[in-house]
Amino acid sequence: MRNFKSMITALFLFSVLSLHSAEIEVLHWWTSGGEAKSVGALKTMLEKSGHKWKDSSIAGGNGVNAMTVLKSRAVAGNPPAAAQIKGPSIQEWAELGFLANLNKVAKANKWDKVLPKRFADHMKYKGKYVAVPVNVHRINWMWVNPAVFKKAGAKIPTTWKEFEVAAKKIKKAGFIPVAAGGQPWQEATVFETIVLGVGGAKFYKKALVDLDMKALKSKTMKKAFDTLRMVKSYTDKNAPGRDWNLATAMVYKGEAAMQFMGDWAKGEFKVAGKKIGVDYLAVDAPQTAGAYLYNIDSFAMFKQKSNAKTKAQNKLAQLVLSDKFQTIFNNRKGSVPVKLGVSKMPFDDIALRSMDALNSAAYTKELLPSMAHQMSVNDAIKGAIVDVVTEFYNSKMSSSKAVKKLASSVKAEM
């Protein structure tokens, strides 16, 4: 009799949960080992809350492939419930009327108090939340294999001049100086890091945020292209088409000395079982100490016809900014919490340095949105810049011609 009652109670609870649960589809591009493990934490938390997660992960292109799929589905009237969208693209989707209003869940969970205003503004359209931020990545890191430097008798560089000296020694010792992936977004990541290093924070803002024509046409921009050409000369011939995580693997395997990449690279070192300070180091990219080039991952919520799916969306948004998820996700992925007040205790040395750099840069006006990672400009302008960088990187185009083409391409999209 007791077993029968237990069975009836379980069936009743299941039926009640079923009435209020829903399956929501989440579109994202987190597919590498470290990334997949990180987003898996959110899936687990959502399903424990009684809802179902339908995974739509689309690899490649720093989200370019995922955005192509999203646009075609939205036009067909079949968008996912949540999609990984960033920067000015959030406002563009909201302006078209696709995105749901998250103000109710935002108010209940005090988002305006727990999010830095600079980051919260990226998530709003006309004062209303339409997306939820997941994390903050720092772009301007240089990942280093200290053993390779030691074998080559080279010093870890802090300037671009020192970089070239070290790269020559590393190449002569039989190692690849720079692990690179020949994909447009990776080339753009290196380019914007160089622009920041060569020109400084004020120049970066003028050129790649404000799109100031004088900055785009300047001698400083020419010097940035010259430096990009120099850096490329220390990559290997097999770089074209290589995925970023495979380039990271070259560093931790001891095949290459350095990689210029955001701190999601740390997730790959972790998955490979490598130790900070022993197997790898994270240092400021040359001449960028004190600056913080940021990338914020976020989920935008698309309007749903079902009340159950809307509730599931709100639950997903709530979970994203919970202390528990912020800690688990960012520890796995290599980023740092976007939410204020999350305990620093569980985080490693690189994350703590990232947090300190973030706080410092906010006061010194060296907190800067990434162009290559969709934070500073809209997709059309970003595409124009990346196209010029890619053409320059993969041809014999002169730096002078690249500067002129960069300015004219950006102007055509403004």
Residues 6+ apart with CB under 8 A from 360: 290, 292, 366
**pTM for this structure?**
0.89
Is 27 domain-assigned? yes
Instruction: Output the pLDDT for position 193.
Output: 98
The torsion angles phi and psi of 347, rounded to 5 degrees, stand at -95, 150
**Residue 17: pLDDT above 70?**
no
Asked if 276 and 192 sit in the same domain, the reply is yes
CATH code where residue 234 lies: 3.40.190.10
CA distance 179 to 261: 10
Asked if 191 and 235 sit in the same domain, the reply is yes
Asked if 205 and 93 sit in the same domain, the reply is no
Give the tokens for residue 77: 């009237």
pLDDT in tens, 384-403: 999 999 999 999 999 999 99
Asked if 272 and 404 sit in the same domain, the reply is yes
Asked if 112 and 261 sit in the same domain, the reply is no
Instruction: Output the pLDDT for position 186.
Output: 97
The label of the residue with tokens 């209940």 reads 108
Res. 140 pLDDT band, cuts 50 70 90: very high
Say how many domains are in the chain.
2
Nearest to 82 by CA among 132, 124, 35, 41: 132
pLDDT in tens, 28-76: 998 888 888 889 999 999 999 999 999 999 987 678 899 999 999 999 9
**Residue 205: pLDDT above 90?**
yes
Is 14 domain-assigned? no
Residues 6+ apart with CB under 8 A from 179: 235, 247, 248, 250, 251, 255, 256, 257, 258, 259
The label of the residue with tokens 């998955």 reads 271
Burial state string for 48-66 with b = 16 or more CB within 10 A and e = fewer than 16: eeebebeebebeeebbbeb
Write out the residue range of the structural domain in which residue 164 sits: 141-293+370-413
CA distance 386 to 389: 5
CA distance 260 to 291: 15
Nearest to 82 by CA among 131, 146, 12, 17: 131
Res. 13 pLDDT band, cuts 50 70 90: very low
Asked if 53 and 131 sit in the same domain, the reply is yes
Is 398 domain-assigned? yes
Q: Which of 353, 379, 401 is the last residue of a domain?
A: 353
**Residue 220: pLDDT above 90?**
yes
Is 13 domain-assigned? no
**Residue 381: pLDDT above 80?**
yes
pLDDT in tens, 321-334: 999 999 999 998 88
Asked if 242 and 386 sit in the same domain, the reply is yes
Number of other CB atoms surrounding residue 238 within 10 Å: 12
Asked if 69 and 186 sit in the same domain, the reply is no
Asked if 209 and 309 sit in the same domain, the reply is no
Angle at 18 between CA 13 and CA 23, to 5 degrees: 145
Is 57 domain-assigned? yes
Asked if 106 and 197 sit in the same domain, the reply is no
Asked if 163 and 255 sit in the same domain, the reply is yes
**Residue 10: pLDDT above 70?**
no
Is 263 domain-assigned? yes
* DSSP 8-state code for residue 327: H
Asked if 334 and 210 sit in the same domain, the reply is no
Nearest to 191 by CA among 30, 413, 399, 335: 399
Is 128 domain-assigned? yes
Is 374 domain-assigned? yes
Instruction: Output the pLDDT for position 20.
Output: 61
